[in-house]
Amino acid sequence: MLYRMPELEGPYPAYLGLTATGELARRAVQAAGLLNECHACPRACGSNRTHDSRGDCGVGRDIVLASYGPHHGEEDCLKGWRGSGTVFLAGCNLRCVFCQNWDISHEVRGQPVTSVKLAEVMVRLQELGCHNINWVSPSHVVPQLLEALVIAVERGLSLPIVYNSGGYDSVETLKLLEGIVDIYMPDFKFWDPAVAERLCGVRLYPEVARNALREMHRQVGDLTIDPQGLARRGLLVRHLVLPNDMAGTAAIAHWIASELSPHTYINLMDQYHPSGNMLRREPPPPFHDLGRSVDASEFDAAMDAVLAAGLHRLDHRQPVRRGWFH
C-alpha cells in the first residue's frame, strides 16, 4: 500500500512560530507552575519540586542529565547520516521491572544541570551536525525542558524537537507542547492493566497511554518523511514485544490502526532481554516469565498481528536481537 505524504503546514521547526510571538516563553512560565504540588506527569505526586523536593520520578527542580551526543542507534528517519541529538534525562515516572536503562531511570545517575547548561547542550548538538534534538524520557521534566528551550532558541537553536517518552504522559502537559514538538515518539508498552500494574506499578498505564497518543496524534498527525529520508513532523510509536505476549501486541496494533490512523509509523522492537531486576540468575517472583529473551516465533507472530491490524508503515531496519534499547 502506497502512502502519499501530506505537505507540512506552518513553520518548521514548529516552535519557531511560537518564539516570534512570545508564546514559547509564556508556555515555559505556565509549565513551571506544574512543579508546585507537582502534576507535570500522570503520577501527580504533589511534591514541591519548585523548592527542590524530589518527586516520585526521583528528580527535583533541576534536570539530571545522564548523557548527550549524536546517536546512531535510533530509527533511520531520525538518525540520518549525522545522528539524532539525544539528551538522556535521568529519572522516570515509570518503574518497569525490566528497565534496560536501570542506572539512569531507577538510580537517577547523572549530573544536575541548570536550564542554561541544558540550553548549551542543545546548541552544542546542533553545532555537531545532529538532525534533531531528541529528549529521551522527558515526561517528568517538561517544565525544565521548556525553560531551556527558550534560552537555546535565543542562542540560535533551530532543530526539530523529538519527544521520546514511555507513553505515560499527562494530556495537560502535552497540550503545553502543542506547536513546540515536531515529532512525538512514545512507547505503547502494555495493553492489559493487570500486566501494567505487575511490570511498572501503574495499573492505569494503558488508559493513560491511549489518551496521550490521541493527543500527540491530534497535534502532529501521521509521520512525514522528507525526500532525504528524515522525519520532519508526526507520530512514531515504539512497541517492545515481550515474552509470552505480555505486552498485548495485537490489541495495541488494532487500537492504533482504528483509533489513530492505519498510516501510523510503527517500530516493532524485538530486543527484549533480561535486564534490571531480571538480570538475576533467578528473577524474583512473580517475574520468572521475563527471564528470557523473545524468540523468533514470538516476534514473527507479533509482526503478523501488526500487519493484520492494517498498519503498513513499519521501521524496516534489520532486527537487533538481544540488543540495547531505551
Q: What are phi and psi of 234, to 5 degrees?
A: 135, -170
Q: Which of 92, 78, 2 is nearest to 40 (CA)?
A: 92
Percentages (nearest 5) of helix, strand, coil residues in the chain: 35, 15, 45
Assess contact for 128 and 70: CB atoms under 8 A: yes
Q: Which of 155, 111, 112 is nearest to 133 (CA)?
A: 155
Pairing mode, strands 133-136 and 183-186: unpaired
pLDDT tens for 120-163 read 999 999 999 999 999 999 999 999 999 999 999 999 999 999 99
Give residues with Cβ within 8 angstroms of 199, minimum separation 6.
Answer: 96, 97, 98, 189, 190, 246, 290
- CA distances from residue 266 to 233, 235, 239, 304, 306 in whole angstroms, order as listed: 14, 9, 8, 13, 9
Q: The pTM is what?
A: 0.93
Neighbours of 290 (CB within 10 A): 23
- Dist. CA 250–CA 192, nearest whole Å: 12
- Dist. CA 25–CA 19, nearest whole Å: 7
- Dist. CA 288–CA 311, nearest whole Å: 32
Joined together, the cell numbers standing for residue 48 give 514541591
- Dist. CA 183–CA 226, nearest whole Å: 13
pLDDT tens for 251-301 read 999 999 999 999 999 999 999 988 766 555 455 556 778 888 999 999 999
pLDDT score, position 235: 98
Domains in the chain, CATH or no CATH each: 15-314 (3.20.20.70)
Query: Which portions of the chain are predicted below pLDDT 70?
Result: 1-9, 276-286, 317-326
DSSP letters for 51-91: GT---TTS--SSEEEEEEEEESSS-HHHHTTT-EEEEEEP-
Beta bridge mates, 89: 65
